[in-house]
Chain A
Amino acid sequence: MLSYLLLSGVTTGALYALVALGIVVVNKATGVINFAHGELFMFSGFIAWSLHVQMGVAYPLALPLAVAAGFALGALTDRIAFRPLIKADVISLVLATVGIAFVLRGVARIVWGGKGDYLSFPPITSPEPIMIGQIMVIPQQLAVLGGAILVMLLFAAFFRLTRAGKMMQATADNSKAATLVGIQTARIYTLSFGTGAAIAAAAAVLMAPLTLLYPDMGFAFFIKGFAAAVLGGLTSLPGAVLGGLSIGIIEALAGGYIHSSFIEVSAFIVIMFVLVVRPTGLLGFSRLRRV
């Protein structure tokens, strides 16, 4: 039983981690939380569905197209709700992204809301469960896990090896200094929003066969992803992954050993404790308070 619960915790945790990763990328560079992140995720998933299921675009092509659409949506979010407000209160910024979330959800409801309650997305792997050692596994879950690891590696490489990635990192560390050495921080912000949304899009396409698609799916993922991101320290990419996996495992164990009614709340109880005991999250650095 424990092995099954751990495995299920890890696979759900991988979903949360992928969402958290996108949140952290945006927060790291810009210092804000994009509350429309869940909706960008949902919207990209629907775009992939339309391409793949409705128009018959092959999966290997539908995936990059959806990711590109996700990037564009993210960049658009930046141009509408972040760049003009860069100096406003954090709560105004948060609300502006909430506004975008409403718009995206409404549009999705009009475009895809009448096509069935929960749209199914054909799995990319064989649908039959397979045995690994003593454990039965659904191949798509392995695909999600593999995809999550791949996205993380790709992203780490992008961050460390490419010029754009390095500029993002420099802006995240110190935006004023970055401006001084000639980095156009506004562009970096757009890039970060786009990248965050692109990760969300990749996540959505990977998960859609398991989670099904519906206009209101974004928020539940966002809350869990946000929790995972904070648990991991908000600016740490490995932290986001660790946070996501921890929440997944906590939920599975609470459900298996206490009762299934504790699944939804267990993560939040843990968060309340973690933040009181260690306010910077698992892998965050405590910043000195500026006087």
Chain B
Amino acid sequence: MVLQRSLKIGAAGLFMAAAAMQAAQAQAPGVTADTIKIGTFGALTGPGYLYGKLPMNGIDVVFDEINAQGGIHGRKLQLVREDDRCDPAAAIGAVKKLIHQDAVFAMIGGGCSNATFAARDTIDEAKIPLVVMASVHDGITTPTPPTIFSAATTSSIESQAQLEFAIAQGAKRIAVISMRDSWGRARYNPMIEAFKKKGIKPVADEELSPDANDATAQVLRLKMSNADAVLMVLYPKPAAVFVRDSQKLAFKPLFIGQTGIADPAAFEDQVASPGATANFRTISMVGMTPQDPAAEKWRKAIEAKFPGDRLSVYNLFGIGSAQVMAEALRRAGPEPTREKLVAALNGLKDFKVDVYPGPISCSETDHRCHKTPAWLAKEPGGPVKVLGATKVE
């Protein structure tokens, strides 16, 4: 009897405790009276850290700025970082941890393309809002996912823009040189599609490894193909080797880069061969370079928070996407839920972010919110010039 009664009391107590917890949890997961927990995932370790750790540092300084001004509707933003080592399995683990263990409200993240793509199912299932900061894989946003929005220009947008730029510059014989890793393939495949749509074929199609120290063979083959423009799907390091060897072998086509090489001033140093970058143009999803006076505020913030670091374009990726998320949170109102946040993200129209060259526009049917990459060039010895921005449809 006693046992039974105490069990009953215990059960009642448990029920009441649960009810009390429920009341405290009237707010969405990850939201308390004065904080909002935002998760982020990407590579903190391994070569992919450029697209993981560095954008996260950018998010941090944006959050610090917002928190210093009192947060969003009185709530401070907290960032929870998880490492995915650029590995699909680790990314799924990281996202599951953020959702089920850390119980974050929403996420800004995604560095390596394959890792983010692999994690998409988990995110779709949990219906947790994600603003993609750096991953470009088309499969992340096509077909349109319920809660994932991309503040990064997706790979097909940039690849298409690279080709169109070459054609607009009057190039007749266009060649491609690419890295065959997941990053490179995510851009290369839509580029070949774009070629097909225009009814032309690349006159040469070469490969260069991310760790290459020599590109003589590639340059010789491209030179034999008489290419007058080369679309480069390369990281800065192989790109520098390629442009340097091109100059050595007197191969002078129009070189067209993408966001991976979005800092022409740093690139000129990396090539370290005077005049080699004269014909180099690059596309970029951020409309400013770290030396830009417009980036002064962020340069100071990054260098203050991470002593010894220098502002890089990778930081800017995070800075841009964090501002998109912050705006959506503001619009989601003082009682945010994930549904309200998704609605707010869907409703972003022509929202201007200082680091992006064009406005951010999302819709119910299209979550590729950033479609306006900028064109950058730098005369050897001169300043970086923004040539303009093209909107890709």
A touches B (Cβ under 8 A): yes
Which listed residue, B45, B235, B249, B314, touches A109 by the CB 8 Å rule?
A: B45
Roughly how many angstroms separate A215 CA and B306 CA in the complex, as a whole number? 18
B70: interface (CB < 8 Å): no
Evaluate contact between B220 and A114: CB separation under 8 angstroms: no
Roughly how many angstroms separate A210 CA and B245 CA in the complex, as a whole number? 11
Roughly how many angstroms separate A5 CA and B247 CA in the complex, as a whole number? 15
Evaluate contact between B312 and A5: CB separation under 8 angstroms: no
Question: Smallest Cβ distance from B94 to chain A, in angstroms?
Answer: 18
**Other 15 A-B pairs with CB < 8 A, given A127-B273, A136-B250, A138-B248:** A106-B45, A109-B53, A114-B308, A118-B237, A123-B272, A129-B273, A138-B244, A210-B241, A216-B46, A252-B214, A255-B216, A256-B217, A256-B221, A260-B208, A264-B209
**Chain A neighbourhood of B274, CB < 8 A:** 127-128
Which listed residue, B237, B245, B248, touches A214 by the CB 8 Å rule?
A: B237
B67: interface (CB < 8 Å): no
User: In the complex, which residue of chain B has the Cβ closest to the Cβ of A106?
Assistant: B45
**Chain A neighbourhood of B273, CB < 8 A:** 127-129, 138
Which listed residue, B180, B220, B309, touches A5 by the CB 8 Å rule?
A: B220
B240: interface (CB < 8 Å): yes
User: In the complex, which residue of chain B has the Cβ closest to the Cβ of A110?
Assistant: B308
Question: Smallest Cβ distance from A150 to chain B, in angstroms?
Answer: 20
By size class, the interface of chain B is 35 or more
B 265-281 contacts with A by CB, 8 A: 266, 269-270, 272-274
A-B CB pair tally, cutoff 8 Å: 113
Roughly how many angstroms separate A4 CA and B53 CA in the complex, as a whole number? 40
B97: interface (CB < 8 Å): no
Interface string of A215-248 (1 = CB under 8 A from B): 1110010000000000000000000000000000
B218: interface (CB < 8 Å): yes
Question: Smallest Cβ distance from B297 to chain A, in angstroms?
Answer: 18
Which listed residue, A8, A117, A129, touches B247 by the CB 8 Å rule?
A: A129
Roughly how many angstroms separate A138 CA and B250 CA in the complex, as a whole number? 12
Question: Smallest Cβ distance from B52 to chain A, in angstroms?
Answer: 11
User: In the complex, which residue of chain B has the Cβ closest to the Cβ of A129?
Assistant: B248
Which listed residue, B211, B216, B309, touches A115 by the CB 8 Å rule?
A: B309
**Chain B neighbourhood of A113, CB < 8 A:** 49, 53
**Chain B neighbourhood of A5, CB < 8 A:** 216-217, 220
User: In the complex, which residue of chain B has the Cβ closest to the Cβ of A144?
Assistant: B213
